[in-house]
Structure 1
Amino acid sequence: MKCLRWLAVFSLIAPAVWAEDPQDDWQLSEVCPPGFVLEGESCKFSSLYSEYPSLQDAGMGGLKVGLPEPRDGFKPAEIDLGRLLFFDPVLSGDGSVSCASCHQPDKGFTDGRALSRGIHGQIAERSAPSLWNVGFLDTLFWDGRAKSLEEQMLGPLYAEHEMGNTPEQLMASLSANPTYVKLFKQAFPERGLTLDTVYIALAAFESSLISLNSRYDLYAHGFHDVLNQNEIEGMNIFRSFVARCGECHTPPLFTNRELAVLGTPEPTGRPLDIGAEGPTGDRSLRGGFKVPTLRNIELTAPYMHSGRFKTLRETVEFYTKGRGHAVPEGEHLSIHWHIWEPKLTDAELDRLVDFLLTLTDQSFMPVIPERVPSGLSVVDALNHSEITTTPVAMGDTP
């Protein structure tokens, strides 16, 4: 088992490739995706981090710290079926967008937009968070209103301004497709095609998106030559009790999986987004959002829940400008106690950005299918309509 975990670390040198796309006979994969090993019939997560103590036992911000419990135990066929569904526009009401439209692999499983767009070019109220390592999370959506992937996906699938589908239409579309009926029977022999198995397959695929092989991870595992002096300096600033970045963006996930009120400014002309106050009714969480992972942050611009900042340099600078400096007049937010006035220098902010770039790793990138059982275009869905309309009140993507 340890040998397999060491192989996972060195996948930076020789990235693992998942099974080839099914072509003529649409047979689902019998091989676990990278980062997982087959135990019996199920794929179990495997990583060097599994050898390390939990955060509670190891202390805040240490290098050799374990991970939360992963979401694993899915069968290879379930994961592979979820992969096809994730890229298939058949899941949307008009066949124009897929899950991958807002969570594009080459953009860190975001969409590169400040505010995501759904069918008919409708504009969302929030940006699309990354899906890397989402299987470790128990707080989903920017406002934290979902606690599982299955619960989360009900939002985008059935929101009129996102994928615009209904449970009835989704089942009708998939049931009318003989290939999908066959594949669901292969992945779920006893249950076949149901709404629940659709959700399970998508959750299985999303849980397989593992990014833990960055240069930072090699450094954490003892290969210290992979970071240069500027990057190490940035890491030390990140972990310091002055900057306090690591207290919320806690390694190795680089999120503490909690909600925090930061006082982030909204784009010009937009009112305050009340965030987690909405689903919870808790006034102390007004303007509060989940702490996002910093994994692959280099690829996921623009930043914050509304895409307010275009660059990482702008983003890190926000935290040194003073507690609550961007809170709108008349608003009284319960700013998280970690947000204070570290007074970092320009050089220190530059070093922080240098360090954040070491968190880039897409060595376990899943294979994007060239075609999907519906026959709809994978590429068109990835590059769906740029037409925009007036933003509508909504939730958001996960």
Structure 2
Amino acid sequence: MWFPSLSKFGANLLLLLWLISAAIAKGEAGEFALVDNCPAGFKINEQSVCKLDSLYNHYGSPHNSGVGGPRAGLPELRDGFSPQVIDLGRYLFFDPLLSGDNTMACSSCHDPDHGFADGRGRAVGINGVSLDRSAPSLWNIGFFDTLLWDGSKASLETQLLGPLYASNEMGNTPEQLLEDLSSNETYLRLFSDAFGTPNISLNQVYAALSAFEASLISLNSRYDFYAHGLHNSLSPSELEGLNVFRSFVSRCGECHTPPLFSNQEIAIIGVPEPEGRPFDPGAGATSGIPSQHGGFRVPSLRNIAKTAPYMHQGNFKTLRDTVAFYNGGRGHAVPKDENLLIHWHIWEPNLRDEELDRLVDFLHALTDEGFMPRIPERVPSGLTPGRVINDQKLTSRSQ
């Protein structure tokens, strides 16, 4: 009686193992599903949308805490998306299907391995075309209402239209984008799950991408622990650098205002262009305001140690080179034939080399990627998710 029983047990065990194996295989290669929980740093509210949950929500206005004060509040975040819409945006962000020839994703220029930039002085678009400016980091981009290097866009939804449809960036058209997504059964299902409608609209695409980008939150660096009261979180050299940063001598905090580390304004600082490159008129070219000629949006310094080279055309290779530029004197690098209204806070601080080194130490304390989203290994189109690897975009079709 024992042997037949054992044989039956063995057969059942083999069947169970086969079912588990099949389930795992289906999970790895089968259907895509959207999550129903918010990204890290967010909490779902009674309306079933994700809202940022940060200690900075309880701090006051930047205007009542002193220059560069740590207990300042954040600008309003572009949040309030459902978990499903955010997760759909995550897939779209990494999917080369969004480009005209299926070779580029948003992540091809905004790679998480490069601080959601691409590590290049000038971004590379479709067909390997070099663009005029670098790809800025997207960390905390949901707090910004002054977007792009020239500050010409005010919302994530309007900003992303440029990269999607520019012939030298992702090279798509609204008609082609909608057709490609609507002919994909997986995307039809995911859009239905996220928005509750049977058809895909372009506004839904823009909303999902904006939702994902706005979820890229970095507010837990060692500086933030210091700002919240854990004063030992900064090393002595970093604390010295913070004091230099906040001082009325260097004036760093007057434009790179904590906690966003940007005041979102257009600043003209007279950065030298890389050798052989023409002068970039910046915001003046798009706004038509003569006083903004040569001006650029003040970028956030969050995760700045991850996004070299620096400035709008990768003008400086290192952070040390960058801070040294500010120490060089007002307008010292402006071309002779350019008449720029240099920002009022640019002067000659005459910082010592040691103080410049401490500034760099402090900037490294702004690194935090603890809320890095889950990077998809597969995307619904079947294409290889777009990434920057060894200065080459890996966006070829999956084998």
Query: How far apart are residue 260 of structure 1 and its match?
Result: 0.4
Give the number of the structure whose alpha-carbon radius of gyration is greater: 2
Task: Report the secondary structure of 2:209's partner residue.
Answer: helix
The answer as to 2:341 corresponding to 1:334 is: yes
Q: What's the offset of the Cα at 1:60?
A: 2.4
Q: Deviations over 1:134-184 (max 9, x none)?
A: 000001110011100010000000011110101011011101101001110
Query: RMSD of the alignment, in Å?
Result: 1.4
Aligned partner of 1:255 among 233, 238, 262: 262
Cα drift, residue 26 of structure 1: 1.3
Off by >2 Å, runs of 4+ in structure 1: 21-25, 56-60, 381-387
Task: Give the TM-score normalised by the residue count of structure 2.
Answer: 0.90
Q: Which residue of 1 aligns with 2:77?
A: 70
The one-letter code sitting in structure 1 at the alignment partner of 2:36 is: E
Cα 1:62–1:385 change in 2 (3 A) is closer
2:32 is equivalent to residue 26 of structure 1: yes
Alpha-carbon deviations, 1:34-61, whole Å to 9, x = none?
1100102100111001111111232321
| 1:71-220 to 2 correspondences below 5 Å | 71-190=78-197, 192-220=199-227
* Percent identical residues: 61
> Which residue is equivalent to 2:68?
61
* CA–CA separation in structure 2 for the residues paired with 1:26 and 1:386: 28
Deviation sequence 1:218-265 (CA, Å, 0-9, x none): 011111111111110000000000000000000001000111001000
Paired with 2:316 and 2:98, the residues of 1 have a C-alpha distance of 31
Counterpart AA for 2:230: F
Task: Tell me which amino acid in the other structure corresponds to 1:334.
Answer: L
1:287 partnered with 2:289: no
Equivalent runs, 1:314-393 vs 2, <5 Å? 314-378=321-385, 381-383=387-389, 386=392
Kindly indicate whether the alpha-carbon contact (under 8 Å) linking 2:67 and 2:257 is maintained by their aligned counterparts in 1: yes
Change (3 A) 1:384 1:298: closer
Q: Name stretches of at least 5 consecutive residues in structure 1 with no aligned partner.
A: 1-20, 388-398
Q: Is the 8 A contact 1:22 1:28 kept in 2?
A: no
Aligned counterpart for 1:38 among listed residues 44, 48, 64 = 44
SS in structure 1 at match of 2:160: helix
Secondary structure of 1:377's counterpart equals coil
The whole-number CA distance in structure 1 between the counterparts of 2:199 and 2:28 is 19
2:216 corresponds to which letter in structure 1? L
**Tell me, what secondary structure is at the counterpart of 2:365?**
helix
Task: State the SS of the aligned residue for 1:44.
Answer: strand
Letter in 2 for 1:142: W
**Partner SS, residue 37 of structure 1:** strand
Match of 1:308 among 315, 338, 347: 315
Distance, in Å, in 2 between the alignment partners of 1:309 and 1:382 is 20
Superposed displacement of residue 386, structure 1: 4.4
Q: CA deviation at 1:22?
A: 8.2
Matched position secondary structure for 2:177 = helix
Using the TM superposition, give the Cα deviation of residue 370 of structure 1 relative to its aligned residue in structure 2, in angstroms: 0.6
Q: TM-score, normalised by structure 1?
A: 0.90
Query: Which of 188-197 and 80-89 deviates more?
Result: 188-197
The answer to whether the 8 A contact 2:182-2:199 is kept is: no
Q: Aligned partners of 1:155, 1:376: CA distance in 2, in Å?
A: 23
- CA offsets 1:78-136 (integer angstroms, 9 cap, x no match): 00000000000000111111000100101110000000001110000000001000000
AA in 2 matched with 1:226: S
Deviation, structure 1 residue 383: 3.8
> Residue 12 of structure 1 corresponds to which residue in structure 2?
none
Q: Secondary structure at the match of 2:161?
A: helix
Distance 1:385 1:235, change over 3 A: closer
Change beyond 3 A, Cα 1:27–1:105: same
Gaps of 5+ in 2: 1-26, 394-399
For CA contacts below 8 A with separation 6 or more, give which structure has more relative contact order.
1
- Distance in 2 (CA, whole Å) between partners of 1:151 and 1:271 is 28
Residues in 2 aligned to 1:385 and 1:309: alpha-carbon distance in whole angstroms: 18
Distance 2:171 2:232 in 1: 49
| Partner Cα separation in structure 2 for residue 250 and residue 313 of structure 1 | 20
C-alpha displacement of 1:279: 1.1
Q: CA deviation at 1:208?
A: 0.2
- 1:378 Cα deviation (Å)? 1.1
In structure 1, how many angstroms separate the alpha carbons of the residues matched to 2:380 and 2:255?
42
Compared with structure 1, are the counterparts of its residues 178 and 190 closer, same or farther at alpha carbon in structure 2 (3 Å cutoff)?
A: closer
